[in-house]
A and B are shown apart, each in its own frame.
Chain A
């Protein structure tokens, strides 16, 4: 078909169109059948002649309608296909090769459509297909195309880019077979391209599919001068573009939200755009990562680690009332060192401690009020860092003289000492290099640093362990001790330049940094990362979504900072001790050069229209034309009298055609939302199996009615929820019957489900096989459940313990039968520290509704009732069966009560104690 992208699956069928003229002649000769009517007035008609002009042949327009119908049927049966995949030269095997790195993630939906089209075409041609990702090589496996179609979602992009070694693996796995290749490219150049292309061209034709859109990346945000600087990059310049960076973080209630957005403008020829975001300190501390609104990939996500978190430092000096010169103030140098990188709080200690600063600095404060001292000790105990500086007052006081003061790391000798003064013999001392196990290890000591006075520590067996910096003569300069979970650090010199040059030197700032006083953790050098092991906290997937990374193995520090990303090193947030480090996908060094393919290769876009099978449309059109024909025939034969009847018929027809669609469309929108939020509505997941869905619907109907009659929960009619389309947040409870052949929800649906579970929703999974299988993978339903639940954010589970709140939210229950009576019902495991209290029937479990309940008792079948309230499925035998059904209803009531009222009933365990306290 020239011009029109149309092809036919069975073109020879079109020959039947040649028979249409014959049909025309035949149909033309047949007049419409007459109506028989009894009519007494016929006597008056006798002898009347019809006008000759009236033909007894079928009117031409009716004929045309019928011809159209027949033609549409013929064309429809011939299998017309719009935008057919161009015929391949060969019928040999086909390799669909995806780059599969994060750069592909943004266009993944389009790529998936294109690949699905390729698979469809290959299936039509009967070609065997292998699919591979360069970024995650697997052995090439040539299979019929149909087998790949269902696995397509599994080829989602990974959060790293392919490299030369991966390309080598791909080449090795290909063997010597000959095949054609479709290469779905992300458009970035890389070391893997050239060898891979050579290898592929040696084995057959190569076609490149590549999107013209640029690849966007965001670099790690920097914190400069109170502003967060964000740099976005793109692979293709040429036109000016604006992208929007979104600062994602948590709102004060702890929910994920967009805290700020910042437009970044790329100049026409620029590859990068930069913008600065000025946010309140408090808000910038809550930023977790930046994303680009225009791109959805791991590269467009920039995680921020501690660098944006501003530590709060409380500065407290001894006496505030003395008028001093600014430069002599004990806090001046500290303030200067801290002001850029930390939040400085100043004020009375008792006012500051409730704000829970990260660090409290006491500059030459000797004695604290007992209440202050107690509060400060508690605060340090809970993990605070107390930083003390010596000074004349501390040297003169009796603090930590006889016995070690809890808030001092060492005992002090009386008076302190001065060296290198007018009245002393010695020279001012310099600093000794830092020890291996000192936190300051590796910092350069400036040569010109001199200490002229210090407070002296009493020699003590524990002293050597507590010294983390000392002077060249071995006297301690900085000492430290742990206290509870926190620590106390003492600088044996003043915080101003009175006793030493230390506060004037850059070393001072770096020492504070090492003590984790400062926020901006400079990117640790490889040397410093050496030997540390970093545990992944949150890792990115290819699409740029964050996942829990606790289950992944730790990563060596030097790898984390230097090694390329790969399966063993995923981008994300890593933790070591107190420190949090982000490994981002795009850095300054990341190469975003667009790929220049050799001119000999055909490069196709991804915007190719999807192959559409039109035969259904043609057949439907034929049906519509036939309906019109019916109306027309009625009109001609006089059975449809008058215009009104015709209009009525047309209206009915239009209504019949249009209403179902419109009904659905409207149903999906606000009306449904309003209906389902007005009252409590139980919901079940649409599985696609009509009988199962019906049973689930009937089951929830039965349960809703029981709830209505027995409890104060008065639910509306239950809803059927399509995970892909519908909003889940309206439903407190989802019933999910498991059948082996239901489709696995998409990633988006899983995203919604996880959000639903996290926000307090509950899913009741029902494998409905407790009669034949135990819980676990022993049945097809159980295995299916495992696959369904794998991507879900489900906590550890345990069989319902006897004291679980489910057993007493409304009825007292010991087991939870449905249509079958299996013991295995699993709920979220109790925390390990839940202990049985003597004399209490129940453990004191903490808050929360179990997000899932898993079992196989086919509850919906036991609950199911028809519209009249008759049970639909038999349960057990005779009265025992009725009892079992009753118990299953009770389980349902308990479950919904649990969903809606949480562990309120658990609080009942306190009743004895409360009564006791009331003196009852």
Chain B
């Protein structure tokens, strides 16, 4: 008899969150789609695009012998460019992402989900396959995948700080990790090296609250992590500001270094900036990092 009503209520409450998130994401995606529709140029896809004469620097392997045999020239068969067939997302859903320093800025997790979903929409509409890292939701095509992803993104994850999921990565796929990366750097490093091993390249998007950069606190304060597992007490928070900021920069530098080593790209996004800028950057990054 149980919780049928409460379950229903919770389900509705959860469902109620879906449309806004989707709508927000679609709206965000719409701003990008307008100018960037289609990708009609040569690439590494499977479909034929055009023949072109061999140019200096082309390897012999690239010559399409059948076409070349029909004429006296050597032709190279170009295929249409195709994005990596699969894009794998990891969006941090741990407790630390639930932080917002004031009413004016959204929670970090909220912003991360919106950006990730908007990116998903863009990619799916471009005919690519999007899924989550790990075995939960493998990459697929089609509009239905957007809904499935939305649902999956709303699942809260245990733990104070998120640990990147790097299992079951499709080789040579693309990956997008969205998190605040405040947890163990080692886990990120491990995930990234593993991904690099499999030929997966991708993007780290670090979503931070402005307060986490500025540290505007003063006076006697007890700081606690969102899951209450960590605490630190200080008598004069203002004095810690410089040292905190130094550590934060250190952490960001470490992440950027890691990315350089593994061929990933790193970007930092503050929740008080517009989500669109982050999405645009992500989209370009996905294009760039072929």
Which residues of A are interface residues toward B (Cβ below 8 A)?
A: 31-46, 48, 50-51, 54, 56, 636-639, 641
Q: Are B225 and A42 in contact (CB under 8 A)?
A: yes
9 nearest A-B pairs in the assembled complex, by CB-CB distance: A638-B219, A40-B96, A638-B218, A34-B220, A44-B247, A42-B223, A45-B232, A39-B223, A54-B236
CB proximity of B211 to chain A, nearest CB, Å: 8
Task: Name the B residues within 8 Å of A637 (CB-CB).
Answer: 219-220
In the complex, what distance in Å separates the CA atom of A48 from the CA atom of B244?
8
Which residues of B are interface residues toward A (Cβ below 8 A)?
A: 96, 99, 108, 161, 180, 182-183, 209, 211-212, 215-226, 230-240, 243-244, 247-248, 251
Task: Name the A residues within 8 Å of B239 (CB-CB).
Answer: 50-51, 54
Task: Name the B residues within 8 Å of A45 (CB-CB).
Answer: 223, 232, 234, 240, 244
Task: Name the A residues within 8 Å of B211 (CB-CB).
Answer: 39, 41
Q: Are A35 and B220 in contact (CB under 8 A)?
A: yes
Task: Name the B residues within 8 Å of A35 (CB-CB).
Answer: 219-222
Specify the main secondary structure of chain A where it touches its partner: loop
CB proximity of A541 to chain B, nearest CB, Å: 70
Task: Name the A residues within 8 Å of B230 (CB-CB).
Answer: 42-43, 46
* Subset of 10 A-B contacts with CB under 8 Å: A31-B220, A35-B221, A39-B211, A39-B212, A40-B99, A40-B182, A43-B225, A43-B230, A48-B243, A638-B219
Task: Name the B residues within 8 Å of A36 (CB-CB).
Answer: 221-222, 224
Q: Are B217 and A37 in contact (CB under 8 A)?
A: yes
Q: Are B224 and A42 in contact (CB under 8 A)?
A: yes
Residue of A32, A36, A39, A641 with highest tally of chain B CB at under 10 A: A39
CB proximity of A629 to chain B, nearest CB, Å: 16
Q: Are B218 and A42 in contact (CB under 8 A)?
A: no
Q: Are A636 and B243 in contact (CB under 8 A)?
A: no
CB proximity of B83 to chain A, nearest CB, Å: 33
Task: Name the B residues within 8 Å of A41 (CB-CB).
Answer: 182, 211-212, 215, 223, 244, 248
Q: Are A48 and B212 in contact (CB under 8 A)?
A: no
CB proximity of B134 to chain A, nearest CB, Å: 23
The chain B residue sitting closest to A638, CB to CB, is B219
Q: Are A42 and B231 in contact (CB under 8 A)?
A: yes
Task: Name the A residues within 8 Å of B183 (CB-CB).
Answer: 43
Q: Are B240 and A39 in contact (CB under 8 A)?
A: no
In the complex, what distance in Å separates the CA atom of A641 from the CA atom of B224?
19
Indicate which residue in B209, B216, B236, B244 contacts A44 across the interface (CB closer than 8 Å): B244
Task: Name the B residues within 8 Å of A46 (CB-CB).
Answer: 230, 232
CB proximity of B86 to chain A, nearest CB, Å: 31
Q: Are A39 and B218 in contact (CB under 8 A)?
A: no
In the complex, what distance in Å separates the CA atom of A637 from the CA atom of B183?
29
Q: Are B235 and A54 in contact (CB under 8 A)?
A: yes
Task: Name the A residues within 8 Å of B180 (CB-CB).
Answer: 40
CB proximity of B215 to chain A, nearest CB, Å: 7
Task: Name the A residues within 8 Å of B247 (CB-CB).
Answer: 44
In the complex, what distance in Å separates the CA atom of A37 from the CA atom of B216?
12
Residue of B161, B223, B231 with highest tally of chain A CB at under 10 A: B223
In the complex, what distance in Å separates the CA atom of A759 from the CA atom of B208?
78
CB proximity of B128 to chain A, nearest CB, Å: 32
Q: Are A38 and B219 in contact (CB under 8 A)?
A: no
Task: Name the A residues within 8 Å of B233 (CB-CB).
Answer: 34
In the complex, what distance in Å separates the CA atom of A111 from the CA atom of B174?
100
CB proximity of B208 to chain A, nearest CB, Å: 9
CB proximity of A354 to chain B, nearest CB, Å: 89
Q: A39-B224, A42-B232 are in contact. Are A639 and B219 (CB under 8 A)?
A: yes
CB proximity of B95 to chain A, nearest CB, Å: 8
Task: Name the B residues within 8 Å of A638 (CB-CB).
Answer: 217-221, 237-238
Q: Are B223 and A56 in contact (CB under 8 A)?
A: no
In the complex, what distance in Å separates the CA atom of A462 from the CA atom of B236?
122
Task: Name the A residues within 8 Å of B225 (CB-CB).
Answer: 38-40, 42-43
Q: How many A-B residue pairs have CB under 8 A?
A: 106
CB proximity of A590 to chain B, nearest CB, Å: 80
The chain A residue sitting closest to B234, CB to CB, is A50
The chain A residue sitting closest to B247, CB to CB, is A44
In the complex, what distance in Å separates the CA atom of A282 from the CA atom of B218?
85
Q: Are B223 and A48 in contact (CB under 8 A)?
A: no
In the complex, what distance in Å separates the CA atom of A638 from the CA atom of B217?
7
Indicate which residue in A40, A48, A636 contacts B219 across the interface (CB closer than 8 Å): A636
Q: Are B244 and A38 in contact (CB under 8 A)?
A: no
The chain A residue sitting closest to B246, CB to CB, is A44
CB proximity of B105 to chain A, nearest CB, Å: 13
The chain B residue sitting closest to A56, CB to CB, is B235
In the complex, what distance in Å separates the CA atom of A27 from the CA atom of B237?
23
CB proximity of A596 to chain B, nearest CB, Å: 74
In the complex, what distance in Å separates the CA atom of A637 from the CA atom of B225?
20
In the complex, what distance in Å separates the CA atom of A34 from the CA atom of B234?
9
CB proximity of B272 to chain A, nearest CB, Å: 16
Task: Name the A residues within 8 Å of B218 (CB-CB).
Answer: 638, 641
Task: Name the A residues within 8 Å of B251 (CB-CB).
Answer: 44
Indicate which residue in A34, A38, A56, A641 contacts B226 across the interface (CB closer than 8 Å): A38
Residue of B215, B221, B231 with highest tally of chain A CB at under 10 A: B221
The chain A residue sitting closest to B231, CB to CB, is A42
Task: Name the B residues within 8 Å of A38 (CB-CB).
Answer: 99, 223-226
In the complex, what distance in Å separates the CA atom of A46 from the CA atom of B219?
17
CB proximity of A14 to chain B, nearest CB, Å: 36
Q: Are A37 and B223 in contact (CB under 8 A)?
A: yes
The chain A residue sitting closest to B233, CB to CB, is A34
In the complex, what distance in Å separates the CA atom of A638 from the CA atom of B215?
13
In the complex, what distance in Å separates the CA atom of A157 from the CA atom of B212?
81
Q: Are A34 and B221 in contact (CB under 8 A)?
A: yes
In the complex, what distance in Å separates the CA atom of A54 from the CA atom of B96?
30
In the complex, what distance in Å separates the CA atom of A533 from the CA atom of B135?
128
Q: A34-B233, A50-B236, A54-B239 are in contact. Are A44 and B220 (CB under 8 A)?
A: no
In the complex, what distance in Å separates the CA atom of A46 from the CA atom of B233?
9
Q: A35-B219, A40-B226, A56-B235 are in contact. Are A48 and B240 (CB under 8 A)?
A: yes
Task: Name the A residues within 8 Å of B96 (CB-CB).
Answer: 40
Q: Are B216 and A641 in contact (CB under 8 A)?
A: yes
CB proximity of B185 to chain A, nearest CB, Å: 10
In the complex, besides A39-B223, A48-B244, A641-B216, 4 extra interface pairs with C-beta distance below 8 angstroms are A32-B220, A40-B209, A41-B215, A638-B238
Residue of A35, A38, A50 with highest tally of chain B CB at under 10 A: A38
In the complex, what distance in Å separates the CA atom of A641 from the CA atom of B215?
12
Q: Are A34 and B212 in contact (CB under 8 A)?
A: no
In the complex, what distance in Å separates the CA atom of A36 from the CA atom of B228?
11
In the complex, what distance in Å separates the CA atom of A164 from the CA atom of B282?
113
Residue of A37, A44, A50, A636 with highest tally of chain B CB at under 10 A: A44
The chain B residue sitting closest to A637, CB to CB, is B219
In the complex, what distance in Å separates the CA atom of A46 from the CA atom of B160?
15
CB proximity of A642 to chain B, nearest CB, Å: 8
In the complex, what distance in Å separates the CA atom of A43 from the CA atom of B225?
8
CB proximity of A34 to chain B, nearest CB, Å: 4
Q: A38-B226, A40-B212 are in contact. Are A48 and B220 (CB under 8 A)?
A: no
Residue of A40, A44, A46 with highest tally of chain B CB at under 10 A: A40
Task: Name the B residues within 8 Å of A54 (CB-CB).
Answer: 235-236, 239
In the complex, what distance in Å separates the CA atom of A54 from the CA atom of B219?
11
In the complex, what distance in Å separates the CA atom of A40 from the CA atom of B225?
5
In the complex, what distance in Å separates the CA atom of A854 from the CA atom of B80?
105
Task: Name the A residues within 8 Å of B240 (CB-CB).
Answer: 45, 48, 50
The chain A residue sitting closest to B230, CB to CB, is A42
The chain A residue sitting closest to B94, CB to CB, is A40
CB proximity of A691 to chain B, nearest CB, Å: 44
CB proximity of A38 to chain B, nearest CB, Å: 5
Residue of A32, A33, A50, A56 with highest tally of chain B CB at under 10 A: A50
In the complex, what distance in Å separates the CA atom of A45 from the CA atom of B247?
8
Q: Are B99 and A44 in contact (CB under 8 A)?
A: no
In the complex, what distance in Å separates the CA atom of A56 from the CA atom of B234?
10
In the complex, what distance in Å separates the CA atom of A641 from the CA atom of B222?
16
Task: Name the B residues within 8 Å of A33 (CB-CB).
Answer: 220
CB proximity of A569 to chain B, nearest CB, Å: 83
Q: A31-B220, A48-B240 are in contact. Are A43 and B161 (CB under 8 A)?
A: yes
Task: Name the A residues within 8 Å of B161 (CB-CB).
Answer: 40, 43
In the complex, what distance in Å separates the CA atom of A636 from the CA atom of B236?
9
